[in-house]
Amino acid sequence: MSQPVLLVRGDREYLVEPGTEKGTDLGVLEIPADVDPGDTIETHLGNEFRVRRLRGPDLFHHFERTGAPMVPRDVGLVIGETGVSRGDRILDAGTGTGVLAASMARAGASVVTYEQDPDFADVARENMALGGVADAVDVRTGDVTDDVDDLEPSSFDVVTLDTADAPAMVARTPELLVEGGFVAVYSPFVESTREVARTAREAGLSNVRTRETIQREMDFDDRGSRPSTAPVGHTGYLTIARNE
Amino acid sequence: MSQPVLLVRGDREYLVEPGTEKGTDLGVLEIPADVDPGDTIETHLGNEFRVRRLRGPDLFHHFERTGAPMVPRDVGLVIGETGVSRGDRILDAGTGTGVLAASMARAGASVVTYEQDPDFADVARENMALGGVADAVDVRTGDVTDDVDDLEPSSFDVVTLDTADAPAMVARTPELLVEGGFVAVYSPFVESTREVARTAREAGLSNVRTRETIQREMDFDDRGSRPSTAPVGHTGYLTIARNE
Amino acid sequence: MSQPVLLVRGDREYLVEPGTEKGTDLGVLEIPADVDPGDTIETHLGNEFRVRRLRGPDLFHHFERTGAPMVPRDVGLVIGETGVSRGDRILDAGTGTGVLAASMARAGASVVTYEQDPDFADVARENMALGGVADAVDVRTGDVTDDVDDLEPSSFDVVTLDTADAPAMVARTPELLVEGGFVAVYSPFVESTREVARTAREAGLSNVRTRETIQREMDFDDRGSRPSTAPVGHTGYLTIARNE
Amino acid sequence: MSQPVLLVRGDREYLVEPGTEKGTDLGVLEIPADVDPGDTIETHLGNEFRVRRLRGPDLFHHFERTGAPMVPRDVGLVIGETGVSRGDRILDAGTGTGVLAASMARAGASVVTYEQDPDFADVARENMALGGVADAVDVRTGDVTDDVDDLEPSSFDVVTLDTADAPAMVARTPELLVEGGFVAVYSPFVESTREVARTAREAGLSNVRTRETIQREMDFDDRGSRPSTAPVGHTGYLTIARNE
């Protein structure tokens, strides 16, 4: 079956699954099972929507939220610094809205992701279906640290963590990662980040480094070029370490 | 056939293709055609090397360089902000060392990339083989702007540019991109970046934005936590725009 | 006569001159000619105000504005990088609200400052009186570049510029500055800043350098410590050069 | 008597007191008691040096160091954010090399500064003489927290702290500061900075805020304009609070 697609008309955007119906204020859309990006679909009132393939940054806007989803920039930094790609096996916790897990699956990885809150996990599963990656992402309800002993040793290429108890999990990553595998941890506060970095070093991971990323929009107008007076804020510290 | 692998022993690391031979100062390594990550291989002098799967950040260190390769952070920002993923068709210029093209191919995309310098293009082709993505990346020698009329309209999901004449190419991207497709441009200087953003707006692309990224290492020691006094420098401005 | 003082009661703050009267919503204040910081004054309705000495950062809030006044941070950077201190003779253009001129005078310098707009110059003169530095700051109406030939050569320790035509003036600073004197230029846009730096080098000034300053508030709460998600924006580029 | 002056010839720079002798590799300089900036002095071998007035940024290079002196930028931020000016009474700890204390004195303040190390205090006293501010700066040997009870209440306009035990001192600043006075604390690490901010709030100081300052040099060359790839590093966090 076809993947979910975006239906777009001006500011209206709907993420829908083929073979379903979507009610809008401009009429009902029947999405054919074989819908293709580039098609045009009319509502029963005759209003046209364009069909578009879903892209990574769309996940940020269209996934149902159970918290602040990871922004495309931070998804990219994780993927770039760990090299997530086709064939990778990823262990991820906590799932949250699921933008990171879905994005890594879209890059060809298979992902096992843990979410402690059962309701959030249900939403994340729906988001994986909407993202067209339900087959590639296994959303498990629970605390990953409880399951570590049941996970196969040296079976993950990358471990990604965005949880309050990340340090406890970081300590276990040398068992879980293949040689050369990476762990990536997002943490908003200095104190927890420090603990993550300390644990990574004590666990014998190599090349442990923590970076904060500051981004600024550039304003280009008739008067000249300058950094925006309304800069992009802090999201978190990213700690990367390698199993080697 | 198997993919190229890394052979690792302490600080020694070699990126090799299965079924070949590799001479080292510790003896000759014969790499079996069916070599697997996790294997151990001995040189003819009995020195052991571990076999490791190649990961994205390794490209930065192991590709033969024809210029400064794009750092993993910037590769990630392009992938994150444009959502490069499986099935994407990418148009890329200029290839350079090829780290970005290879990384996007590793995330499941098929890439057409243009490099003006014939020698650099040859190196890039070798790098694609080393990166295990020779099938997914078509390295073309020449200037992409000369070929635009021969490229199929609306046939690319993402256009990535890292060339001195990026503005001329940006002006053509609305023809080349699918609806909802992205263009991403790296440019080191304010003046050229301004021109890129202006051209993108004039070409009718939407959500044109330019960001500079500042990263700083955090130092954690017994005295406390602080940003490093040796921060990470400027690499370039990243301009993103969408075809919609 | 005493200096102007601040009268403070809760959120109410008035900058007043001794020997005058001030009407407030809590009644009329008669400010004695010999008023001292630390005194308490009552309105005719019996509401008490505390008397406080004016401090530099208060200028930013209490001066009548004819444009965005320079923030205390930028005033400090100019003073720190040029070493403005007692006995310095400063040439300043354009005056604007006058916060920089007044702050340098408060640090013991005598300042000649040029403002093109006659109405703005009048406001600046009133601000100098309110800042208690009317004797130390000579606010001249006009364009400083028209007057350069009439200014005494080698008679200024520091030249500070915040005008659109700063480059033309920078070119003349080697004549005006003493040996070892500094020129400091604030400019909001990259293009004009580049021109300032180029002119400074061509004029033979030494140690020409341009810096942008990014500041971020730190948030400390029960969860931990982190940079604020609402950072402080760009104000301008500061170019410093020395006459030597 | 005249103030100390700089003698300059090419890269050679000496900070000397009038009426003294200075041996150099180009011969001996006898500095007249009435030497004036702008004069030329010859060594006994006939080599000319130019006489220059000392400026604030020169302190950073010419003071004898007992540790890393505060850079002109940070001196400026303290002065700008607290409004240090003529007539201010400042309490400063710890003195260190004394660049901040001398700079505030040069802006017209009288400074009491504490240095725990007796040898460092001696060097600081010599630096104050070299800086021409021996009369305005009282360098006391000892720990300021031991002396707080002997200091006159409400007698300081500004308290500046750059010591490991700054929080203990911050707690006492409401007694020592006049109404509207400022405390400014430099601290290199997040943990100590957090403690400073917490103590300031608990002590009832208002408008407590901590900022980190990131500066980057701009490079302007024939290819274009961009932030330097060799940025200026972290020096410390600056916490400012007001007594009101």
**pLDDT tens per residue across span B204-222:** 999 999 999 888 889 999 9
Span C4-61, pLDDT tens digits? 999 999 999 999 999 999 999 999 999 999 999 999 999 999 999 999 999 999 999 9
* Helix-helix angle C72-82:C99-106, to 10 degrees: 50
Q: Is D215 on the interface with B (CB under 8 A)?
A: no
Q: What are phi and psi of C103, to 5 degrees?
A: -65, -40
Taking CA atoms, A28 is separated from A11, A15, A33, C100, in Å, by 17, 14, 16, 63
Distance between CA atoms of residues B68 and B51, nearest Å: 27
At D52, the amino acid letter reads R
At C18, the amino acid letter reads P
Please name the residue of chain A whose CA is at the shortest distance from the CA of residue C164.
A223
* Helix-helix angle A118-130:A99-106, to 10 degrees: 30
Distance between CA atoms of residues D87 and D157, nearest Å: 9
For chain C, domains (ranges, CATH) are: 5-54 (3.10.330.20), 58-242 (3.40.50.150)
Closest CA to D229 of D237, D221, D241: D221
Q: Is D229 on the interface with B (CB under 8 A)?
A: yes
Closest CA to A239 of A147, A169, A178: A169
Span A174-190, pLDDT tens digits? 999 999 999 999 999 99
Touching subunits of A (3+ CB pairs, under 8 Å) are B, C
Please name the residue of chain C whose CA is at the shortest distance from the CA of residue D5.
C180
Alpha-carbon D71 to chain mean position: 8
Instruction: State the greatest distance between any 2 C-alpha atoms of chain C, in Å, as a whole number.
Output: 64
Q: What is the pLDDT of residue C195?
A: 97
Under an 8 A CB cutoff, do C227 and A212 touch? yes
Whether the CB-CB separation of A178 and A243 falls below 8 Å is answered with yes
Under an 8 A CB cutoff, do D107 and C180 touch? no
- Chain D closest CA to C8's CA: distance in Å? 10
Please name the residue of chain A whose CA is at the shortest distance from the CA of residue C234.
A229
Residues of C within 8 A of A212 (CB-CB) are 227
Q: Is B234 on the interface with D (CB under 8 A)?
A: yes
> A27-32, long-range: CB within 8 Å, 24+ apart, which pairs?
A31/A5, A31/A7
Task: For residues D52-64, give the mean pLDDT.
Answer: 95
Question: Taking all residues of chain A, what is their mean pLDDT, rounded to a whole number?
Answer: 95
Torsion of the alpha carbons at D137, D142, D146 and D150, rounded to the nearest 10:
-40
Residues of B within 8 A of D231 (CB-CB) are 214, 231, 233-234
Q: How many of the other CB atoms lie within 10 Å of CB of D126?
A: 14
Alpha-carbon C147 to chain mean position: 22
Distance between CA atoms of residues A28 and A49, nearest Å: 11
Please name the residue of chain B whose CA is at the shortest distance from the CA of residue D237.
B226
Q: What are phi and psi of B111, to 5 degrees?
A: -125, 130
Task: For residues B196-208, give the mean pLDDT.
Answer: 97
Task: For residues D155-181, give the mean pLDDT.
Answer: 96
Is the confidence at residue B187, as pLDDT, over 90?
yes
- Chain B closest CA to A74's CA: distance in Å? 7
Strands (E), B85-236: 89-93, 110-115, 137-141, 156-161, 177-187, 206-221, 224-227
Q: What is the pLDDT of residue B228?
A: 84
Span A109-159, pLDDT tens digits? 999 999 999 999 999 999 999 999 999 999 999 999 999 999 999 999 999
Pairing of strands B206-221, B224-227: antiparallel
Taking CA atoms, C99 is separated from A151, B33, C68, C92, C169, in Å, by 65, 75, 10, 11, 21
Residues of B within 8 A of D190 (CB-CB) are 224-226
Residues of C within 8 A of D181 (CB-CB) are 55
**Rounded to two decimals, what is the model's pTM?**
0.94
Q: What is the pLDDT of residue C183?
A: 98
Distance between CA atoms of residues A41 and A30, nearest Å: 8
pLDDT > 70 fraction of chain B, expressed in percent and rounded: 98
ipTM greater than cut 0.85? yes
Q: Is A33 on the interface with C (CB under 8 A)?
A: no
Q: Which of D85, D220, D244 sits opposite C107 (nearest CB)?
A: D85
Among the listed ranges B72-81, B165-174, D191-200, D227-236, which one has the minimum average pLDDT value? D227-236
Is the confidence at residue C147, as pLDDT, over 90?
yes
Residues 99-138 in B contacting A (C-alpha not used; CB under 8 Å) = 103, 106-108
Q: Is A228 on the interface with C (CB under 8 A)?
A: yes
Residues of A within 8 A of C230 (CB-CB) are 233
- Count contacts between B and D (CB, < 8 Å): 58
Residues of C within 8 A of D209 (CB-CB) are 217
Residues of C within 8 A of D53 (CB-CB) are 157, 178, 180
Q: Which of D211, D216, D222, D239 is the best mutation test for C, with the most CBs of C within 10 A?
A: D211
Is the confidence at residue D230, as pLDDT, over 60?
yes
Q: Which of D192, D225, D228 sits opposite B233 (nearest CB)?
A: D228
At C112, the amino acid letter reads V
Residues of C within 8 A of D106 (CB-CB) are 83, 85-86, 108
Whether the CB-CB separation of B79 and B99 falls below 8 Å is answered with no
Taking CA atoms, B26 is separated from A39, A244, B5, B13, B17, in Å, by 60, 20, 18, 12, 19
Under an 8 A CB cutoff, do C226 and A233 touch? no
Residues of B within 8 A of D227 (CB-CB) are 212, 233-234
Residues with Cβ within 8 Å of A198's Cβ and at least 6 positions away in sequence, in order, are A167, B220
Distance between CA atoms of residues D224 and A81, nearest Å: 29
Is the confidence at residue B231, as pLDDT, over 60?
no
Q: Is B81 on the interface with A (CB under 8 A)?
A: yes
Q: Would you say the C-alpha torsion C120, C126, C129, C131 has a positive or negative sign?
A: negative
Span D182-211, pLDDT tens digits? 999 999 999 999 999 999 999 999 999 999
- Chain C closest CA to D10's CA: distance in Å? 9
Is the confidence at residue C225, as pLDDT, over 70?
yes
